[in-house]
């Protein structure tokens, strides 16, 4: 395709905010950059889009390579293109966010991305580029998303207790929820069903285990 040079020919990258909930806190996957620019800085996993890829398939590749998961919840977030966000020149970043249960994720180190780890979104280090902004925006989107969709299923293992479910919500919306109201609301939504078995272990009453009836994204009236 021919195009006069008076047009901007930006480089296009994809960055992915991979969320999970661990120890009652909402966390995002952070890697350490092996190369310039920002060599050694913590950053989001991401990179150039390869030939034959779309931005989604690039995001899926990053998810598979860095977190060892596929078929998880993945949604385009925003395209960041502030002129000086990358010292190399005009670089557009098409960003995505993903949700996965902690126990399905296998963090993997690659040549370009060292020491990957989950960092609580409430205590992130200063990240490369505008990546702090990107995560901030993703957290906002996730919070509002949770209020009118069943997206939380993406953060939970196949079976879970109602208390675990509530803790996920509390971690994301960042406030305590009333136990009885939460359970009432969730049960009448009809999204989950008891598995029939109970949690074991610990010096306490065992809890009923539940599963989501469907793991397809759905819109809902309102959650809490």
Partner DNA sequence: GTAATAAGTGTATTTAATACACTTATTGTC
Partner DNA sequence: GACAATAAGTGTATTAAATACACTTATTAC
Contact residues for DNA (CB under 7 A)?
161-163, 178-181, 183-185, 198, 200, 202-208, 221-222, 224
- DSSP per-residue letters across 160-191: EEHHHHHHHHHHHHTS---HHHHHHHHHHHT-
**Site stretch for a second copy (CB under 8 A), options 26-34, 83-91, 153-161, 203-211:** 83-91
137 binds a second copy (CB under 8 A): no
* Nearer CB in complex with DNA: 216/222: 222
* Nearer CB in complex with DNA: 64/189: 189
| Cβ 134 to a second copy shortest distance, Å | 14
Considering only residues 37 through 76, tell me which ones interact with a second copy, judged by CB under 8 A.
Answer: 48-55, 76
Residue 51 per-residue DSSP state = T
177 binds a second copy (CB under 8 A): no
Sheet (strand 160-161) strand order: 160-161, 208-212, 192-198
Say whether the peptide bond before residue 37 is cis (omega within 30 degrees of 0): yes
Residue 75 interface partner, choices a second copy, DNA, none, CB cut-off 5-8 Å depending on type? none
Contact 40, 125 (CB under 8 A): no
82 SS3 class:
coil
Nearest to 29 by CA among 54, 56, 64: 64
| Cβ 204 to DNA shortest distance, Å | 3
* Nearer CB in complex with a second copy: 135/209: 135
| Whole-number Å distance between alpha carbons of 159 and 164 | 10
Residue ranges in contact with a second copy by CB under 8 A: 1, 3, 5-12, 48-55, 76, 78-79, 81-83, 88-89, 92, 94
């Amino acid at each position: 395709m021919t195009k006069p040079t008076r047009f901007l020919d930006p480089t296009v990258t994809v960055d992915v905010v991979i969320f999970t909930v661990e120890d009652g806190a909402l966390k995002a996957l952070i890697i350490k950059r092996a190369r310039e620019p920002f060599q050694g800085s913590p950053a989001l996993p991401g990179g150039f889009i390869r030939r034959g890829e779309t931005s989604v398939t690039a995001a899926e590749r990053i998810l598979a390579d860095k977190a060892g998961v596929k078929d998880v919840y993945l949604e385009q977030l925003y395209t960041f293109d502030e002129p000086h966000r990358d010292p190399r020149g005009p670089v557009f970043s098409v960003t995505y966010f993903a949700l996965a249960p902690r126990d399905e994720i296998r963090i993997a180190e690659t040549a370009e991305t060292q020491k990957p780890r989950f960092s609580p979104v409430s205590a992130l280090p200063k990240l490369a580029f505008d990546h702090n902004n990107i995560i901030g925006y993703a957290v906002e989107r996730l919070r509002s998303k949770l209020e009118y969709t069943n997206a939380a299923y993406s953060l939970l293992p196949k079976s879970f207790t109602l208390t675990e479910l509530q803790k996920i919500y509390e971690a994301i919306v960042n406030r305590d929820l009333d136990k009885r109201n939460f359970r009432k609301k969730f049960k009448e939504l009809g999204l989950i069903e008891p598995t029939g078995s109970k949690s074991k272990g610990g010096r306490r009453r065992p809890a009923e285990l539940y599963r989501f009836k469907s793991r397809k994204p759905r819109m809902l009236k309102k959650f809490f």
